[in-house]
A and B are shown apart, each in its own frame.
Chain A
């Protein structure tokens, strides 16, 4: 089946630790996105990528980093510089950037120990 997978489902981070969230899609989409959702809030854009080897900052990129070495993969690293990382992280993809429908993965819940 085509779709977007995210792993892990839950992730625990210790103080000062970098953690990486995985996002994979087999929809052959060019564009991929990372969003953060805090309780009771809408989604906010962290990073997006329109094409392989290219990515741009969203509204809340500080403390995060990404890479896009393959079309199907867009991992997000939450660095120790992100002081409030506890949130629900959602990955999405679309055929082209901001065109047509965005499809979302099931999300990763990140908790700080």
Chain B
């Protein structure tokens, strides 16, 4: 299967700071999504981004499919951004999640 590596595994930020989360994957994909899992376990889709760049408020994401990586940018972080961020990739048959980046934003 496709290997998905996320870095860093843990991240502690002061409120207002910016951060970059990285997702590397081992094979060509036609689906890539970023999710945020809140402390209660709910997964919220942030971006569907198999290639290119998208922005949504303080969040933006870039996927360079030819180099097999994606980046999630969080600007002006807030305490509500805390949780685990997952990258998930898929090809025509399967879908694979990384182990996540656990973000803790302190007030």
Contacts and interface: CB of A to CB of B under 8 A. Distances in A.
Given A42-B86, A43-B97, A98 B42 contact: no
Nearest to B42: A106
By CB atoms of chain B within 10 A, which of A40, A42, A100, A109 has the most? A42
A42 B97 contact: yes
B45 A59 contact: no
Contacts of B86: 42-43
B48 A100 contact: yes
Q: Is the interface of A mostly helix, strand, loop or mixed?
A: strand
B1 A99 contact: no
Given A101-B48, A103-B45, A104-B43, 19 more contacts: A35-B97, A41-B99, A42-B4, A42-B99, A44-B97, A45-B95, A88-B41, A90-B41, A92-B43, A98-B91, A98-B92, A99-B31, A100-B48, A102-B33, A102-B45, A106-B40, A106-B41, A107-B41, A109-B41
28 contacts: A33-B95, A35-B97, A37-B41, A40-B99, A42-B4, A42-B88, A42-B98, A42-B99, A43-B86, A45-B95, A59-B1, A59-B94, A90-B43, A92-B43, A98-B90, A98-B91, A98-B95, A100-B48, A101-B48, A102-B33, A102-B45, A102-B88, A102-B95, A103-B45, A104-B35, A104-B42, A104-B43, A106-B42
Interface of A: 33, 35, 37, 40-45, 58-59, 88, 90, 92, 98-104, 106-107, 109
